[in-house]
Chains A and B, each alone.
Chain A
Amino acid sequence: MILALRAMLFLCSLLVLVSSVGIMGAAVGWDPSFTLNMLAQWLVANPLQTGLIGIFAFAIAVFGISLSLRSSQEVPAIIKKTNLGVIQISLQALESLVRRAASEIEGVRTIEPTIRHREGKFEVHLALEVVPDTNIPSLADRVQTRIEDYLAQTVGITDVQVSLTVKEIATGLQKARVK
C-alpha cells in the first residue's frame, strides 16, 4: 500500500514537474506546439498504447481521489462497559488529554503523543522537547507518573505503559539580556 502510494506520488510529481518546465519554457519563448503536435500524432497513431495509458491514468486518479476523501478509520478504545452500553473514547481525544497533562509539567516544552490500544492495554509514547538544563531522568519519571495518574483519574484507565523519547532540547529559548 505504501509502495503504491509512493509510486503514485512519484508519477504525479513527475507529471507536474514536466508540465511546469513546459509552462516556464513557454513563458520564456519556447513554442510547445510542435512537441504537443508530435505527441498528439503519436497518441492517434497508437490507439492501443493510448488506451492503456488512459486507463492507467484514470485508475491513478480514482485511487488518489478516493484516498483523499477516505476518512481515517480510527478504532476507539472501550474504557468501560456499563449496564446501559459501552463508553468509548477516541484515541485522538486521549492524545489531547495526554498532551495537556504532560504540558503542565515544568521542563516540558512540546509533546507529541502517540497512543496505541492493544488487547485492552494502552501504550502511550511521548516524544518530548525539553528545556535546557533539565535533569532528564527526573523529568521522565515525573512525566510517566503524571500521565499514569492522570489517565487513571480522568479516564479510569489503569493498565497504561508510558514510554518516552526526548527528541530535542529546546534551543529557541532566549535568555533575557538584562536582569
Chain B
Amino acid sequence: MVAENENITENGSIRIANEVVAVIAGLAATEVEGVAGMSGGVVGGIAEMLGKKNLAKGVKVEVGEKEAAVDLFIIVSYGIAIPEVAYEVQNNVKKAIHSMTGLDVIEVNVHIQGVQFPQEEKPEPELQPRVK
C-alpha cells in the first residue's frame, strides 16, 4: 500500500499511509471483546508462519484526503451475540481512526469470516486398577 492521502497545512504536508490506517483499524477491531482475530487469507497466513507480524491482516482500507472507508474480515468467538460485537467493532474502529488521523470514517463494513470455538480440555482419564 502506498501513501495516498496528503493533508497540506501551513507548516507543510502530512501524509498518512493506507497501511497506517489499516493497522489502526486492525488493532481497534481486535481489542473488542468477542473478536477472536482477523482473517487475512492465505498470503497473510503464510506471512505469519514466516514470523512476520501483520497488524493490518484482514483489513482493507480506502483512504481519501478527508475520508476513509474500511472493510474488516474478522473471526469471532463462539457464544457472543454477533451483531452487537460487530456494531461495537464498527464504533471502535471509527473512533480510533478519527482520533488518531483526523479522517472521517464514512463506512466500516464488518465481514464475519469464521467462528472460533473454545478448545475443550479433556481431563485425562484416571487409570483405575482392574482388580481390587
Contact = CB atoms under 8 A, between A and B. Distances in A.
Interface of A: 76, 79-80, 82, 84-90, 92-93, 96-97, 100, 153-156
Contacts of A84: 87, 90-91, 94, 105, 107-108
B86 interface: yes
Contacts of A97: 78, 115
* Interface of chain A, main secondary structure: mixed
Nearest to A76: B111
User: How big is the B interface, by class?
Assistant: 20 to 34
28 contacts: A76-B111, A79-B82, A80-B87, A82-B87, A82-B90, A84-B87, A84-B91, A84-B108, A85-B69, A85-B90, A85-B109, A86-B110, A87-B83, A87-B109, A87-B110, A88-B109, A88-B110, A88-B112, A89-B111, A90-B113, A93-B112, A100-B78, A100-B115, A100-B117, A153-B81, A154-B79, A155-B83, A156-B81
B114 interface: yes
Contacts of B113: 90, 92-93
